[in-house]
A and B are shown apart, each in its own frame.
Chain A
Amino acid sequence: MVPIAYYLVLAAILFSIGIAAFLIKRNVITIFISIELMLNAVNLTFVAFAHMWHQVAGQIFVFFVMVVAAAEAAVGLAIIISIFRTRQTLNVDEIDLMKS
């Protein structure tokens, strides 16, 4: 018997670490990786609540999140490749094309 709250606290820990990594990291690929970490933390809360209510809807949500994350990773990494090709850097502080 594990309290559902423990699963939610674990998800909160992972989500906060994801936020901290998103803000601190300067490499655009690592920032993208921390977004994936936050998505995973939210998926854990969905599965925990699906278990709590004995409903399958939460698991369907996680399925769709996985599909969208796959599509997002493909497009995002293609954008990173094209940024690197034109600017020769992965540092987000140097990618400031839209800064006036």
Chain B
Amino acid sequence: MQLALFFIFGALAVAGALNLLLQRHPINSALSLVVVMMSLAVLYWSLGAEFLAAAQVIVYSGAIMVLFVFVIMLLNAGEEEETHGSRAAYTVGIPGAAAIFCLLTFVFLSERHALGSANIGGYLNRGVDNIAEVSAMLFTKLLLPFEVTSILILVAILGAVVLARKEQ
């Protein structure tokens, strides 16, 4: 049953990613990325990462992609045109990406017995539920990095405001 779930949502993710690659209008690419992110959220859930599944839906497809769609609408971006650079990228990019894919897949499939297999839901060694474990780790051992990320977000907000402001 988990295998069926994996294949359905894995196929959905790959279809969304291919659609991202093939569409010429940026708004279509942005919306196909939302499809990829939602199917990845289901896969996170099936791997026992409930907190990350929720965060993927809320943060990635809720906040970041809305920002992308806003900017595409704001700049009124049209279809991209073929240029000299894009023809060179086709001849180099497709074989390069295929080579990286073949290398990674070869390594993963030749080590598949050492990697083992996944049960739905999963469990953690310390035997508590996922969100409790994540928050316990985040607020005790990793408290300083967690606070530093809030400063990072603050700096990013200030930078975005300064960069996007109209010149006087």
Contacts and interface: CB of A to CB of B under 8 A. Distances in A.
Contacts of B59: 66, 70
Given A40-B36, A75-B156, A12 B80 contact: no
Interface of B: 2-3, 6, 10, 13-14, 17-18, 20-21, 26, 29-30, 33, 36-37, 40, 43-44, 46-49, 51-52, 55-56, 59-60, 63-64, 67-68, 71-72, 74-75, 77, 80-81, 83-86, 89-90, 92-94, 96-98, 100-101, 104-105, 108-109, 111-112, 115-119, 122-125, 130, 133-134, 137-138, 142, 145, 149, 152-153, 155-157, 159-164, 166
A98 B71 CA distance: 24
Top 7 A-B pairs ranked by shortest CB distance? A23-B93, A71-B156, A16-B101, A78-B163, A5-B112, A12-B104, A20-B97
Contacts of A81: 71, 74-75, 163-164
Nearest to B18: A17
Contacts, number: 253
B142 A40 contact: no
Interface in A2-48: 2-10, 12-21, 23-27, 29-30, 32-34, 36-37, 40, 43-44, 47-48
Interface residues of A, number: 71
A20 to B, nearest CB: 4
Interface string A79-95: 11110110000111100
B97 A1 contact: no
